[in-house]
Structures are given as C-alpha cells and as structure tokens.
Amino acid sequence: MKKLIDAILNRKKYKSLSWWENFMGGHIDIGPVTLYGENAMHWGVRVATRWGYVCFRLPLRCFGCWWPLYFYISPNATPQKATFMLGKSY
C-alpha cells in the first residue's frame, strides 16, 4: 500500500527531505519569470527579456546536497551560450 501511495504522489526516495522538497518538483511560470523547483534545474530562476534570458540558481539544498549559486545572461537560456557568467562555468 505504501508503494502505491508513493507512486501516486510521486514521492522521491531521498533521505531527510522536507515536505517542500518532496512536492516542489516542477516549475511555476509567473509572466516572463519561471521558477524551477526540486528538479534538474536545482531551484533555478529564468527571466525572459526581449534580448535573451537572465538565469540564476538559488544556493539551496537539492537532492540531499547544497548546490552553489550561479548567474548568467544568455540568448537561448543555456550556460553554454552565455555572454556573461558568474559562478561555475559549464
């Protein structure tokens, strides 16, 4: 029964996760701003402008470890094409 409930609620199998981390796995769009949750974007924020995108990751706990802050400006929202970047380069 527990496996069925976990599958229905899409609960993750990581130890010591809070309720917030378990249930914020997607993203939220608020106009030109996209807030990413507990997923591959690791609590990232993307802001669309007419010239490109401003992206940064919040230094929060994700998947059981802390991820560093980064900030970049990119024409296509990817760090590979960034015209300006602070933090770890990819």
Give the model confidence (pLDDT) of 4-23 as tens digits.
566 555 555 555 556 665 66
Strand order in the sheet with 27-30: 27-30, 33-36, 44-48, 53-57, 70-74, 84-86
* Reported pTM: 0.64
Total structural domains within the chain? 1
Question: Which structural domain, as residue segments, surrounds residue 18?
Answer: 2-86
Give the pLDDT mean for 82-89. 81
Quick one: 51 exposed, middle or buried, by C-beta within 10 A (0-12, 13-18, 19+)? exposed
